[in-house]
């Protein structure tokens, strides 16, 4: 754990994370998913969390990581409009809604949806 000016965060190698120690993962949008979706450690972690029914949240282009992890077929999801066809082609049921929850997968579209997205993640963590 790293401490800096009253903030705490963890620097972690994805391959070293034990999915049993994790309650949730939040996958950001923007350009980050381009790197994460080709990172084998990230894909393995997402699959392991999915198999353990842990919370997987993704916003904007983040659901593309879930596509690469192979966990979207038959799931209801949303994303940034540019990723819509990717989700549909991977077998997901696309919904143009601020937040879509299917089991323990929470997806959202854009930064304007962040308040609802964050609230749903918190509610799911409290279940």
Q: What pLDDT digit, counting tens, does each position of 42-94 carry?
A: 999 999 999 999 999 999 999 999 999 999 999 999 999 999 999 999 999 99
Determine whether 60 is an active site residue: yes
State the residue range of the domain holding 15. Answer: 2-126
Annotated catalytic residue, options 3, 39, 42, 61 = 61
Q: Is 46:76 a contact under the CB 8 Å cutoff?
A: no
Q: Which residues are registered as beta bridge partners of 77?
A: 94
Closest CA to 57 of 97, 24, 35: 24
Active-site residue identified among 3, 39, 42, 60 = 60
- Backbone region of residue 4 per phi and psi (left: phi > 0; alpha: psi in -120 to 50; beta: other values): beta
CATH number of the domain where residue 36 is located: 3.40.50.880
If one counts the domains in the chain, the total is 1
Confidence band (pLDDT; 50, 70, 90) for 124? Answer: very high
Percent of the chain whose pLDDT exceeds 70 = 91
Rounded to the nearest integer, the mean pLDDT of the chain is: 92
109, 59 contact by CB (below 8 A): yes
> With 90 as the cut, is the pLDDT of residue 23 above it?
yes
> Could you confirm whether 3 is annotated as catalytic?
no
């Amino acid at each position: 754990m790293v401490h800096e000016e009253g903030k705490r965060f963890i620097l972690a190698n994805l391959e070293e994370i034990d999915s049993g120690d994790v309650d949730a993962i939040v996958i950001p949008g923007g350009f980050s998913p381009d790197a994460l979706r080709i990172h084998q450690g990230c894909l393995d972690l997402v699959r392991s969390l999915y198999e353990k029914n842990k919370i997987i949240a993704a916003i904007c282009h983040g659901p593309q990581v879930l596509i690469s992890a192979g966990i979207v077929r038959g799931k209801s999801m949303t994303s940034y409009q540019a990723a819509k066809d990717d989700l549909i082609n991977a077998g997901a049921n696309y919904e143009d809604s601020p937040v879509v929850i299917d089991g323990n997968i929470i997806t959202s579209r854009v930064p304007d949806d962040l308040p609802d997205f964050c609230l749903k993640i918190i509610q799911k963590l409290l279940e």
